[in-house]
A = this chain, B = another copy of it.
Amino acid sequence: MAPSANTAPRKPVAQVRYELLTLGDELLLGLTANTHLTFIGQQLGRRGVTLERNVTTTDDAATIARQFRESWARADVVITTGGLGPTCDDRTREVVAEVLGQKLVFDPAIEQAITDRFASFGRKMTPNNLKQAYKFDRGEVIPNAHGTAPGLWVEQDGKVLAMLPGPPNEMQPMLVNQVLPRLAQLGLLLDREAYVQFRTAGVGESALEAKLQPIFDRQGDALSIAFCAHQGMVDCRLSSPSGRLSLAELDAVAHECGRLLGEDLTCYGHDTLAKIVSELLRAQEKRLALVETATGGLLANAFTELGGACKFFAGGVVCCSNDAHMQLLDVPECLLQQHGAVSDECAVAMATGAAETLGADYALAVTGFGGETMGPGGNPIGTIFVALHAPHGVWSKKLSYPGPRPTVKVRAVNAALDWLRRELLRVAHGAVTPTRRTGVIQ
């Protein structure tokens, strides 16, 4: 079942036209977020391809036919998601077969895979599932390791069609493990990362650009630079669309930027702040405690998303009332009465209380707008205090972010993580004094 490379268009990867058709009324009605675009767009982007278009249409057969015909005419590669399941609104397979002039043929191997899957759950296959056992007569089957509906693969008219199931936990591994390697083999995307990325925190996009421009200028127009800012962090991607700079040369430019940026560089590649912090903690064999009001559990969630969090995560406390602060973390009541829960003093007491109660070396506290009501899209929430407790000191910082609550929460999480990251780096580099200090950082 080797891909027939002779059907592949012979143009540079960046000029291959990709379209993504995401099918389903539930997407258009906003009942399900279109995570397919995000995931597939990201995966293709890393391999040097920018999706030319994503079209989301209804499950209606005539609509699918019209849209598929149009996209098939325009694009070199069409990827579809959804509509391959067993129910009556799953029409993609039949509609596309007709447009392509293909016959659907029953595949006993698919039937067996579906039957086996049901059996592994101790269930019996219902007859409507057999619909999923049909494939194109001049196409191939992409096995589904995580569900019943297999994907379908067609090479026709010098184009490629990959039809993927709708559930993300089925679609995503199928794309990464089966579809991308086949596309790379056909020369329709790169078989390696298309760019070198480094990530930064705590510096604005325009300041970053100004700082790095002299390095970029030396490369002239061989170098292409893209910035992407998100909630207190800015990523920078270096590529060489003309191919004049090799990956090793791009890597050298990235590292030159990294040396200039110092602590503002968080990593080369794609790691999250939580991942970076967790690796620093594990390398230093230190444990972290968290206490949060303003971020309501999101900070803890950033770490518990990672595998192996038990190795360094001593626990977190989420609270929004003065009671919880006091009882769990021994924050003095007089302090709360004098300064309030949203204050430098309280943030410091919370961080220290969390570290001591949970037996952690480091602790982050984030306090702010406990439970005030705010309308959708409303005004800035106001002020957040972050405190960092370390073996060698404890400090607090006042932050102020405009924007709606979900944005403020993510920015506060990122700011807290970035602060801890910098402190752990300084410790790793022997750049902190062992004397215990406290302070408010302006």
A297 near B301 (CB under 8 angstroms)? yes
Closest to A145 in B: B377
B43 near A53 (CB under 8 angstroms)? no
Which residue from B51, B57, B299, B316 sits with its C-beta under 8 Å from A319? B316
A55 near B58 (CB under 8 angstroms)? no
User: Residues of B contacting A439 with CB < 8 Å?
Assistant: none
* Copies of this protein chain in the complex: 2
User: Residues of B contacting A39 with CB < 8 Å?
Assistant: 30
Tell me how far the C-beta of A156 lies from the nearest C-beta in chain B, rounded to whole angstroms.
24
**Which stretch in A105-113, A367-375, A384-392 binds the other chain?**
A367-375
A304 within 8 A of B: yes
A interface secondary structure, majority: mixed
Tell me how far the C-beta of A287 lies from the nearest C-beta in chain B, rounded to whole angstroms.
9
Q: Which of A40, A169, A306, A318 has the most CB of B within 10 A?
A: A318
**Which stretch in A134-142, A209-217, A322-330 binds the other chain?**
A322-330
User: Residues of B contacting A224 with CB < 8 Å?
Assistant: none
Which residue from B38, B57, B321 sits with its C-beta under 8 Å from A53? B57
A98 within 8 A of B: no
A308 within 8 A of B: yes
Closest to A321 in B: B310
Task: Indicate the size class of the contact surface on chain A.
Answer: 35 or more
Query: 8 A-B Cβ contacts within 8 A?
Result: A29-B41, A33-B33, A54-B56, A173-B376, A296-B297, A306-B371, A313-B320, A324-B358
A2 within 8 A of B: no
User: Residues of B contacting A305 with CB < 8 Å?
Assistant: 296, 405
Tell me how far the C-beta of A11 lies from the nearest C-beta in chain B, rounded to whole angstroms.
18
Closest to A33 in B: B38
Q: How far is the CA of A34 from the CA of B38 in the complex (A)?
A: 7
User: Residues of B contacting A172 with CB < 8 Å?
Assistant: 376-377
User: Residues of B contacting A55 with CB < 8 Å?
Assistant: 53-56
B30 near A42 (CB under 8 angstroms)? yes
Q: How far is the CA of A75 from the CA of B121 in the complex (A)?
A: 46
A298 near B301 (CB under 8 angstroms)? yes
Contact with B along A31-73 (1 / 0, CB 8 A): 1111101111111010000111111111000010001000000
A169 near B407 (CB under 8 angstroms)? yes
Q: How far is the CA of A50 from the CA of B41 in the complex (A)?
A: 25
B371 near A308 (CB under 8 angstroms)? yes
Contact with B along A263-305 (1 / 0, CB 8 A): 0000000000000000000000000001001001111110111
Interface pairs A-B: 4 shortest CB-CB = A296-B304, A315-B324, A307-B373, A30-B42
A3 within 8 A of B: no
User: Residues of B contacting A290 with CB < 8 Å?
Assistant: 318
